[in-house]
Structure 1
């Protein structure tokens, strides 16, 4: 892992954290280990570095984007899309019978970007391990080859179900009138069982998505001067605070 982090620029040759390493440390410090969001947070930071985690209108010709908003409708749609894209990096807790729920071509396309980054990270860490084995830097007289592969991170592909859940929730809130009231949020959350009939818990999935948002938001606020969108993320975080 240290060699992998050095290749990705999170630590230097002296094993000291770089600016992105400090950013990663701040983000991971916000997480509860029981939520198992560390990999998703790491992938999110990689997407930030590649300028792939933002609210740019890449797939506006496709269906499934946010549709509703208040009198600041365009802003609401942009903010909803950013929060939903962050959620796409996580995974919807769902019964193992196949996904059932709303669809979104926009988020499905975005999921493909997330998947490509995750796959590249998986390839890199496999190459790091192979290099260490070939060079004799680690013990090669072992019987746990299968376990070695399974224990490496980034093995499981992501889905866009959690992103769709967040987009659906935030999109339905404006229909409740005073959308920032606790009663309005509770009313929309109660509909989750109808939208996602086989999810473990709609409210639990939203909570997981918002915990991931908190970690990624923390990263954006500690990303250093090279990251130019920290102010926009702060605005989205303030917008989300009364809606979650």
Structure 2
């Protein structure tokens, strides 16, 4: 059984669809980061394991989910819980890790509609991805929110960022550790109706994420 860590903050509108699309052989761990909209109860009602995360931040939620994942099946996935990605695509990410063809598989977003990925967020992502390519030599073009790797190896990287800089720190650390990193296209859908991304939904949210990621690069 492959665990899927879903960092979650007020995703009640999206969770039923996301959890219903979880493929056979995959188990959802919802890392609830202080939701006030009943997300945790909805997740439990749909069969997910819920981990309460008191420390705020995307990285804190991901780390708590990794700690809670089953160590017996070492491969683990991470995916946003907002409905912008289809869990059915996770099977493509796990295969290269299990086969030893990749240490880390990350998603390169391909928007299904132009509204899925606002221009300000796309530009910021492209700039950061170019920095990562120059720093690490990794052929990555997205600071992707979908990924698969071995749980034990992710924890051994000892990532420290607990905010939005976590995905960037992961790529930099993986590059420095000599990991084989594979990037796969993944469909990027509009979020669940009535919800807004904490990062791409506003210019301020994107600016905060870029600030966190710049702090990672500065280290």
Same fold by TM-score greater than 0.5 = no
Bigger relative contact order (CA 8 A; separation at least 6) = 1
Q: Which has the higher strand share?
A: 2
Higher relative helix content = 1
- When the two structures are superposed, what TM-score results if normalisation uses the length of structure 2? 0.26
Q: TM-score, normalised by structure 1?
A: 0.24
Q: Mark the structure with the bigger radius of gyration.
A: 1
